[in-house]
Amino acid sequence: MALISTTLFFTATLLISTAAATTCPICGTTPVPYPLSTGPNCGDQSYKILCDNNNNNYSLKFQTLNNTYPITSITPQTQRFVIQPSAFLPNACVTQDLSTLGIQMNPALPFNITSSNTILYLNCTPLLLSSPLNCSSASLCHTYANSTGGSCRNAPICCTFWAGGSTTSYMVRVRDSGCRAYTSFVGLDYGLPVNRWPRPGLEIQWVSPPEPVCGSQADCDSNSTCGADPNGNGVRRCYCNSGLYWDPIGGSCAESVTCQNPDGCGNSTDRTALIAGLTSGLGTALVASIIGILIYKRHRRIKEAQDRLTREREEILNANGGGRSAKVFSGKEIKRATNNFSCDRLLGSGGYGEVYKGFLNDGTVVAVKCAKLGNTKGTEQVLNEVRILCQVNHRSLVGLLGCCVELEQPLLVYEYVAHGNLFDHLHGPSRSQISWNHRLRIAQATAEGLAYLHFSAMPPIYHRDVKSSNILLDEKLNAKVSDFGLSRLAHTDLSHVSTCAQGTLGYLDPEYYRNYQLTDKSDVYSFGVVLLELLTSQKAIDFNRDADDVNLAVYVGRMVDEERIVDAVDPMLKEGASDLELETMKALGFLAVGCLEERRQNRPSMKEVVEEIEYIISLATAKVVA
């Protein structure tokens, strides 16, 4: 009886799945896990791959923007698969996909290259020697080329690169003017000899899928309800009913069912029932044990992934290349500094995270930025900001003091800038406190910070989200550029970065929006809008203006065409202004219009913008001296 009671007391966890999300049929002998889709009626249509049947030889393939690559393995538990890189042309150190410029993924899709890849670029031109890649004679690439022989052995320049950075998450680029060949290895142990390296592969991960799309309740099963997507995009999805949760790996709703009654889960004393209960209990114990083992393995994989993430963050902090030094804070330090993330310490909240005010033990006031739990994009932006800020050190850029690697969500610690942002000052009650000279100095400091990113940082950095709310002001109204979550390093493409257009409406470069090519001139355009805000104290987008003038750039452009630019100047600035001050206001307006040129080649560089602002300030200073 004790055995029966003990057995029945064993906690069993059973997963109950729905059929709302349909897994695709196997491709030959290879399973296709959810959400990957090989057809219109299975998987999630945002996660399309190919099941190729070549003379009854089925194989899965991943289709990029310009090519197709075989999938060699899939690990659904970690939401990753490995593709086979392009082969080399016969007797040449050239990959077959050179004609299509290598692997070019669509950043709008839920796939990206992971940081587990070590990419070797071979047969490179001297132009790559000025890039941030490791092209030295001691690089791992030379070890590989010299050990494997073949046509790449005599290639004079080859480079090693650790993938998964901000601009390489979606491409492995080869071209005649850069490198003509590449290969990649997943989870490479650099201490192993080349003959013990794994076979070449490039690891791709997919973002956790949302609930399945539905047109009506008939598309969902009894465990889910067809409802509107809270993101407000007009899509309806099968949301799990109360008590169930969405399992993105299994593609189903699931719940935990437990029996913890030491006297059994029924009152029958029939001997047959006892035997049945014993059998059922032993069976349940067996099932539970198997599930427990699987859960343990999954937790171990998650722990390993978290440990890898911790190492990555620490490596980023420790490999700052002479830039700003930063430290790793403990979770206890961060909780104590923010009073355990108290609501009264909250400075601001956005779509991807929150910012809290904190006090370190030495009295230093800091701002702590936290990515939202479970928000993949937020985590990516915070980690990207670490990569960026550890490489820069300029008085006009917000300083990174360090990050925390012990807590579940990524945390960044910044110097605290106490006086709010430029947007709030220009469009709030403190607008009158910002004189014309203050505005010129704010424009100068911001331009100097952006020019530093474009011309002094190695590699160059494109901010990608220049706007007045990302320009912080201290108590003396000194400006500091902040928020580098969308910033990009100019890594593998020395002329531009190809990326999905992101930014803020009203500040976004229209040419970048059209062709997805990000350059330093995209930041110049956004800065031109900031200059207009400084000049007019009006918002970049304001529906209170006439329909044709909602966009500030369009509105001021029209005023310039009508030779009425002074009419657009903030009335508070014009009141009591001298003729020379009005001339400097017009000069800044014309500079802003130059930054907003439709064709980016007609816009000045940020260095030229700094020089022009310094000239305008010299005119204003001359007036004061006179």
pLDDT in tens, 527-569: 999 999 999 999 998 888 888 888 999 999 999 989 999 999 9
8 A C-beta contact, residue 288 and residue 11 = yes
- Orientation angle between helical segments 606-625 and 579-595, nearest 10 degrees: 180
Q: Is the dihedral of CA 193, 198, 202, 205 positive or negative?
A: negative
Task: Supply the DSSP symbol for 43.
Answer: S
Beta bridge partners of 53: 58
**Least confident window among 138-147, 459-468, 511-520:** 511-520
Instruction: Please determine, for residue 443, whether its predicted confidence score (pLDDT) is greater than 90.
Output: yes
In 324-430, alpha helices (H): 331-337, 376-389, 422-426
Hey, is 286 helix, strand or coil?
Answer: helix
**Least confident window among 253-267, 374-388, 398-412:** 253-267
DSSP E strands in 46-199: the ranges are: 50-54, 57-63, 68-75, 80-83, 103-104, 111-113, 117-124, 159-162, 171-172, 179-186
**Least confident window among 31-40, 399-408, 483-492:** 483-492
Q: What is the pLDDT of residue 118?
A: 87
**Least confident window among 54-68, 452-466, 589-603:** 452-466
Percent of the chain with pLDDT over 90: 26
Q: How far apart are CA 69 and CA 17, in angstroms?
A: 33
Hey, is 285 helix, strand or coil?
Answer: helix
Q: Which residue has the tokens 């993101």?
A: 231
8 A C-beta contact, residue 413 and residue 338 = no
* Statement: the pTM of the whole predicted model exceeds 0.85: no
Label residue 70 by pLDDT band (50, 70, 90): very high
Instruction: Please determine, for residue 16, whether its predicted confidence score (pLDDT) is greater than 80.
Output: no
Task: Supply the DSSP symbol for 400.
Answer: E
Instruction: Please determine, for residue 75, whether its predicted confidence score (pLDDT) is greater than 50.
Output: yes
Residues 260-267, mean pLDDT to the nearest whole number: 45
Q: What is the pLDDT of residue 211?
A: 87
Q: How far apart are CA 38 and CA 114, in angstroms?
A: 23
Each residue of 268-278: b (16+ CB within 10 Å) or e? Answer: eeeeeeeeebe
Q: What is the pLDDT of residue 484?
A: 77
Label residue 259 by pLDDT band (50, 70, 90): very low
Residues 63-77, mean pLDDT to the nearest whole number: 91
Comparison of pLDDT for 62 and 19, the residue scoring more: 62
Query: Catalytic residue at 263?
Result: no
Q: How far apart are CA 571 and CA 485, in angstroms?
A: 35
From 229, 270, 344, 465, active-site residue: 465
Instruction: Please determine, for residue 307, whether its predicted confidence score (pLDDT) is greater than 80.
Output: no
Q: Which amino acid is at 585?
A: M
Q: How far apart are CA 525 and CA 352, in angstroms?
A: 25
Using CB atoms within 10 Å of the CB of residue 22, give its burial: 0 to 12 exposed, 13 to 18 middle, 19+ buried: middle
3-state helix, strand, coil in the chain (%, to 5): 35, 20, 45
According to the per-residue pLDDT averaged within each range, which of 37-41, 107-111, 149-153, 221-225 is highest? Answer: 37-41
Q: What is the pLDDT of residue 501?
A: 45
pLDDT per residue as tens digits for the range 219-255: 888 888 898 877 667 788 888 888 788 888 778 887 7
Q: How far apart are CA 341 and CA 476, in angstroms?
A: 28
Q: Average pLDDT of the chain? A: 79
Of 539, 620, 626, give the one whose Cα is nearest residue 587: 620
Per-residue CA distances from 90 to 93, 103, 143, 150, 199 (Å): 8, 20, 21, 10, 19
Q: What is the pLDDT of residue 78?
A: 82
Per-residue CA distances from 615 to 8, 229, 608, 610, 611 (Å): 84, 52, 11, 9, 6
Percent of the chain with pLDDT over 70: 77
Hey, is 399 helix, strand or coil?
Answer: coil
pLDDT per residue as tens digits for the range 449-469: 999 888 887 778 888 889 998
Residue 40, number of CB atoms within 10 A of its CB: 8
DSSP state letters, 186-223? ET--TTS-GGGSPPP-EEEEEPPP-SPB-SSGGGS-TT
Per-residue CA distances from 98 to 103, 160, 174, 503 (Å): 9, 18, 6, 31
